[in-house]
Amino acid sequence: MDIVLSGIRPTGNLHLGNYLGALKNFTKMQHENTCYFFIADYHSLTTHPTPQNLQGNVKQALVEYLAAGLDPEIATIFVQSDLPETAELYLLLNMNAYMGELERVTTFKEKARKQPQNINAGLLTYPTLMAADILIHRAHKVPVGKDQEQHLEMTRTFARRFNRMYNAEIFPEPVAYNFGEELVKIPGLDGSAKMSKSDDENSAIFLADEPEAIRKKVMRAVTDAGPTVKNSPKPEPVENLFTLMKAVSQPETVQYFDDKYNSCEIRYGDMKKQLAEDMILFTAPIREKIKELKANDTYIRKVMDMGKEKAHVSGAATVRLVREIIGFRPY
């Protein structure tokens, strides 16, 4: 069985795009592979969160992932810093990571531009830490978005380099895991092509949003004055509204409004009302689960402990082997 691993940055709440584009697939994947999902709290230190924010964000991320359907009994769900062996592997990999290649990484250059007052070494070596995350479990597949492709490429380079240097076939070269044809892109409510947490707050529907907040955001969604010619093509913001509806509503509902659009009788207010109610219904089970889990610290702690233990079995074994290969042998 393939080993699949993915890291999640504990920043902000999950939105409908995260769920439909990534998480829903993770919940399926966990049954078909040996899966590791972890919360990348070491990585999040590059932006200097306060201890309170760090703790709150890690808990929120874990709660939302569990609420979305990741099963701690099936997959290994853990917090990155609960596997400190990662830090040792990171140190060891850094010995063979070169300044030139790290400085050329697109995400580093972008971050350096965005936070010129805080270009720390952790930012520069972000790809080595990510490689350590992946290689410590000797993962074969890593489900990531396009923005992480370069990091994965570097992970392969570091793996190859290590294997060659020590003439050992210890690390597999991980590949990006795509969800095939099911790849969906959920648009934003502001007319943007992709729902995202970093854009306008009102553009994204978060899994934890209360019904009233969902109604408000959807009613404010961007549309146009309405079609005047029958069967005319839909402008992008309107098309986006239909795409969102397809994701959460019954096919008959989508058909109904599509027919109304084509006959120039559509009332966007009615469509939005329907869309809001369907979104509320669609997210209800996750929203309820989030609330329930948030109030159950005992269970959350239990999940963390269980993940820590499982991650340790695999991670500690790799580091033990790496130490031996490098030459840290007991005399």
Residue 245 binding partner per list ligand ADP, ligand TRP, none, with a CB distance cut-off of 5 to 8 Å that depends on partner kind: none
Q: 27, 38, 7, 81: which is closest to 289 by C-alpha? A: 27
Residue placing its CB nearer to ligand ADP in the complex, 115 or 196: 196
Q: 141, 180, 159: which is closest to 3 by C-alpha? A: 141
Concerning whether 114 is annotated as a catalytic residue, the answer is: no
Rounded to the nearest angstrom, the gap between the alpha carbon of residue 34 and the centroid of all alpha carbons in its chain is 18
Residue placing its CB nearer to ligand TRP in the complex, 43 or 272: 43
Query: Does 198 contact ligand ADP by CB under 6 A?
Result: yes
Concerning whether 194 is annotated as a catalytic residue, the answer is: yes
Residue 195 binding partner per list ligand ADP, ligand TRP, none, with a CB distance cut-off of 5 to 8 Å that depends on partner kind: ligand ADP
Contacts of 292 (CB under 8 A, 6+ apart): none
Residue from the set 24, 194, 289, 312 that interacts with ligand ADP by CB under 6 A: 194
Which residue number has the CB closest to ligand ADP? Answer: 21
| Distance of alpha carbon 287 from alpha carbon 290, whole angstroms | 5
| 7 contacts 145 by C-beta, under 8 angstroms | no
In degrees, to the nearest 5, what angle opens at C-alpha 116 toward C-alphas 114 and 117? 125
Residue from the set 20, 92, 97, 144 that interacts with ligand TRP by CB under 6 A: 144
- CB 9 → ligand TRP: shortest distance, Å? 5
From 24, 194, 273, 291, the catalytic residue = 194
Phi, psi of 67 (to 5 degrees): -65, -35
| Distance of alpha carbon 308 from alpha carbon 195, whole angstroms | 33
Concerning whether 197 is annotated as a catalytic residue, the answer is: yes
- CB 44 → ligand TRP: shortest distance, Å? 9
Binding site for ligand ADP (CB under 6 A): 17-18, 20-22, 145, 184-186, 194-198
